């Protein structure tokens, strides 16, 4: 028989970091957020925003903004630590909570008439009672693509990865009026000057930095010579799949695209 009592979880963000119990083992996932609530939550109860429920759980958000909570029973972790340590499904709940926090912060006033907006009680939206404009959390689709050529994969280094020396698959935001596949062709051509073929959807991943949805593709090299744009991309090369440079870890969609590319190449060579 199903229990009638739902578990309440509070996603509490302080200074853009998630609060967790001080002693928590993060690999145990978000179950730990229920304990946190009991200890320190009372003080912040009035600010809680309901963000998600199903038959068993209720999720609430508390955004303390820049306020830093000092309490011996809690510590704060960055979203990057969440993505690296928590189970994937749990990370997605944290990502959702964070994206709602960003949404609520950035929609206090109406973009059409400038009046103060109010939160809609039955869906995640902000509404302007002066002009009836309604806003929903922004999701920005971004394509990410692994390109293969025989047993080589194209990996690039952007300005941001220069310091870490790390090479990754190409990625870029989808523009208005463009299909995802068109974005793949355009981004690849703009960033490295290549044409690709056999573009195939792989998987997707919400990426709350701050509100992207990464849509993963696999593609094959068609034609062209690598020519980097020198701005977004500073270096790009074909790497032998068995001799890769530093690449993104497997919890990220880039890491999974590289793994899938490796599998495809192994299948072909059998």
Among 6, 112, 138, 160, binds Zn ion (CB under 5 A): 112
* Per CB under 5 A, 120 contacts Zn ion: no
Cα→Cα distances 269→151, 218, 223, 261, 264, Å: 9, 18, 22, 13, 9
Residue number, 114 or 150, with CB nearest to Zn ion:
114
Spatial CB neighbours of 178, under 8 Å, sequence gap ≥ 6: 186
Residue 7 binding Zn ion, by CB under 5 A: no
CA gap 16, 34 in Å, rounded:
19
Identity of the residue, 47 or 130, whose beta carbon is nearer to Zn ion in the bound complex? 130
Residue 110 binds Zn ion (CB under 5 A):
yes
Report the site for Zn ion in 9-68 (rule: CB under 5 A).
none
Q: Would you call 269 helix, strand, or coil by DSSP?
A: helix
Give the whole-angstrom CA distance, residue 174 versus residue 44: 38
- 237 forms bridges with which residues in the sheet? 155
Name the segment binding Zn ion (CB under 5 A); options: 16-24, 58-66, 108-116, 251-259.
108-116
Report in angstroms how near the CB of residue 131 gets to Zn ion at its nearest: 3
What's the min distance (Å) between Cβ of 210 and Zn ion? Answer: 24
Contact of 219 with 180, CB cutoff 8 Å: no
Match 């068609």 to its residue by tokens.
Answer: 222
Write the secondary structure of 6-45 as one string of H (helix), E (strand) and C (coil). CEEEEEEEECCEEEEECCCCHHHHHHHHHHHHHHHHHHHH
Residue 113, interface with Zn ion (CB under 5 A)? yes
The least CB distance from residue 78 to Zn ion, in Å, is 35
Could you give the CA distance from residue 192 to residue 183 in angstroms, rounded to a whole number?
A: 14
Shortest Å, Cβ 102 to Zn ion: 20
Q: Rounded to the nearest whole angstrom, what is the least distance from the CB of residue 256 to Zn ion in the complex?
A: 42
Minimum distance from CB of 128 to Zn ion (Å)?
Answer: 3
CA distances from 101 to 38, 168, 265 (A): 21, 29, 42
For Zn ion, the closer CB: 28 or 120: 120
- Which residues from 121-140 bind Zn ion, rule CB under 5 A? 128, 130-131, 133
The answer to whether 74 contacts Zn ion (rule: CB under 5 A) is no
Let me know how long the chain is. 270
How many Å apart are CA 144 and CA 254, to the nearest integer? Answer: 7
* Residues 203-242: x where in contact with Zn ion by CB under 5 A, - otherwise, as a string: ----------------------------------------
Q: How far is the CB of 216 from Zn ion (least distance, A)?
A: 37
- Residues at the contact surface with Zn ion, assessed by CB under 5 A: 110, 112-113, 115, 128, 130-131, 133
């Amino acid at each position: 028989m199903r229990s009638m009592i739902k578990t309440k979880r509070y996603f509490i963000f302080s200074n853009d970091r998630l609060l967790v119990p001080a002693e928590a083992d993060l690999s145990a996932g978000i179950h730990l957020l229920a304990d946190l609530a009991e200890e320190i939550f009372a003080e912040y109860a009035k600010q809680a925003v309901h963000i998600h429920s199903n038959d068993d759980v209720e999720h609430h958000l508390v955004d303390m903004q820049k306020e830093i909570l000092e309490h011996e029973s809690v510590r704060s972790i960055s979203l990057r630590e969440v993505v690296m340590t928590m189970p994937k499904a749990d990370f997605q709940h944290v990502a959702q909570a964070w994206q709602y926090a960003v949404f609520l912060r950035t929609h206090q006033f109406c973009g059409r008439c400038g009046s103060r907006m109010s939160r809609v009680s039955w869906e995640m939206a902000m509404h302007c009672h002066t002009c009836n404009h309604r806003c929903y959390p922004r999701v920005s689709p971004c394509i990410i693509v692994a390109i293969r050529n025989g047993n080589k994969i194209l990996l690039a280094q952007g300005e941001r990865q220069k310091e870490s020396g790390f090479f990754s698959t190409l990625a870029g935001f989808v523009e208005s009026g463009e299909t995802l596949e068109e974005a793949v062709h355009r981004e690849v051509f703009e960033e490295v000057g290549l044409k690709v073929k056999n573009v195939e959807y792989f998987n997707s991943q919400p990426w709350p930095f701050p509100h992207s949805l990464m849509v993963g593709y696999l593609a094959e090299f068609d034609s062209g010579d690598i020519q980097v744009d020198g701005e977004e991309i500073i270096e790009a090369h074909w790497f032998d799949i068995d001799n890769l440079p530093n690449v993104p870890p497997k919890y990220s969609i880039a890491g999974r695209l590289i793994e899938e590319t490796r599998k495809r190449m192994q299948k072909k060579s059998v």
